[in-house]
Amino acid sequence: MRLSVIVTCTQPWPEVRGCVERLVPQVRADDIELIADGSAGGLDATAGSHVRWLRSPGRGPRELRLAGLVQGRGDVVAITGDHCDVAPD
Query: Could you report the per-residue pLDDT of 22-54, keeping only the tens digit for each?
Result: 888 888 877 888 888 876 666 665 555 678 888
> How many angstroms separate the CA atoms of 51 and 68, rounded?
12
- In this structure, are residues 68 and 54 in contact, taking their beta carbons and an 8 Å threshold? yes
pLDDT tens by residue, 45-78: 555 567 888 888 888 889 989 999 999 999 999 9
* Predicted local confidence at residue 65, as pLDDT: 92
**SS3 breakdown of the chain: % helix, strand, coil, rounded to 5?**
30, 30, 40
- What whole-number distance in Å separates Cα of residue 81 and Cα of residue 68? 12
Report the distance separating Cα 22 and Cα 40, nearest Å: 20
